[in-house]
Amino acid sequence: MKITVWGSRGSICSPGSKTIRYGGNTTCLELRTTTGRLVVVDAGSGLRYLGKQLMKEPGVKDIIFVLTHSHWDHLIGFPFFAPAYKPEYNISLCGGPAARDSIRKYLGHQMSAPYFPVDFSIMKARFTYGCACPSDRCEGKLEGFLDFNECSSLPLNHPNGGYGFKFVDRGKTFVFLTDNELRFQHEGGLAREQYVEFCRGADILFHDAQYTEAEYVHTQGWGHSTYLDAIELAVDARVKRLGLFHHDPDRSDDDLDQQVNFCRDRLSLAGREVDCFAVADGMKLEI
């Protein structure tokens, strides 16, 4: 599986001279299975650039979206996704079990007047809504997910809910858990142990790490984790690589370097061998 990062920032786009290295686009990942299938995770502002890239790839006409939740920073790129306006594209939209029936509604809502000038109905791609999975475990009923050995979801601990996802391709596991607060109980959220179990042994985990401990004193309950929360989860779940994700919009490149060093120091003091890094826009990983 190949993972390309098109957006790793949280909450709001943060372009500028201080975010050049890690980037300022909000959540969007491109996954390519070993069989070449394309899966897009979240539709934050980074999606616009992925759309432009896909328009140059005439062989790719089937696009599967996996959407974690409907907060703006995870959907804002969708109205700017060029392939959605072209009739030759087939776009499947999966938002986890609870969003099977509502995904069309919330994508359409963000393009409705007076919020946006162009209505969703102008988009001419062929859309399919919902994973059609009867349970939290994707059973491959959406064509394309068959290319994964496993695709499963679990509820996020986040205001208004949402889902985290696990993708297994040829025995290699990538877990994506953003907008997940490990130290606070939100309605519908799970206990920390269940997140540890979900991440167990992952080759790569991207986890929400928006706040420092000092910031968290004021932001508890906002739906996000701290750097310490993320590394402790990675250690307990024995993941191999941890990508710190959903960077606070106020975090500069130098701030992020400092936080990565803090996490690496903590991990090495504890004698833990987790490869920890901050996810950056443009980053490419392969497992």
Residues that bind Zn ion (CB under 5 A): 10, 71, 73, 179
C-beta closer to Zn ion: residue 147 or 179: 179
Taking the least distance from each CB to Zn ion, the nearer of 169 and 179 is: 179
In Å, how far from its chain's centre is CA 220? 21
In the complex, the smallest distance separating the C-beta of residue 73 from Zn ion, rounded to whole angstroms, is 4
Which two structure tokens, joined as six digits, stand for 252?
């500069």
Question: What are phi and psi for residue 186, nearest 5 degrees?
Answer: -100, 160
- Nearest to 201, CA basis, from 154, 235, 169: 235
> Are residues 226 and 183 in contact, defined by beta-carbon separation less than 8 angstroms?
yes
How many angstroms separate the CA atoms of 112 and 131, rounded? 24
How far is it, in rounded angstroms, from Cα 23 to Cα 278?
A: 11
- Which residues, 6+ apart, have CB-to-CB distance to 102 below 8 Å? 95
**Least spacing, CB of residue 45 vs Zn ion, in Å:** 11
Report the nearest approach of Zn ion to the CB of residue 159 (Å): 7
Minimum Å gap between C-beta 75 and Zn ion is 10
Residue 21 Cβ vs Zn ion, minimum distance, rounded to whole Å: 21
Q: Which residue number, 78 or 89, has a Cβ lying nearer to Zn ion?
A: 78
**73 or 147, CB closer to Zn ion?**
73
Taking CB atoms, the residue at the shortest distance from Zn ion is: 71
Using only C-alpha atoms, what is the Rg of the chain? Answer: 18
Nearer to Zn ion, 169 or 208 (CB): 208
Q: Among candidates 71, 73, 60, 69, which has minimal Cα distance to 31?
A: 60
Nearer to Zn ion, 89 or 206 (CB): 206
For the sheet containing 241-245, what is the strand order? 137-138, 150-155, 163-169, 172-177, 204-208, 241-245, 275-278
| Closer Cβ to Zn ion, 142 or 279, answer by number | 279
Report in angstroms how near the CB of residue 222 gets to Zn ion at its nearest. Answer: 9
Smallest gap, in angstroms, from Cβ of residue 178 to Zn ion?
Answer: 6
Query: Which run of H or E residues covers position 198?
Result: helix 192-199
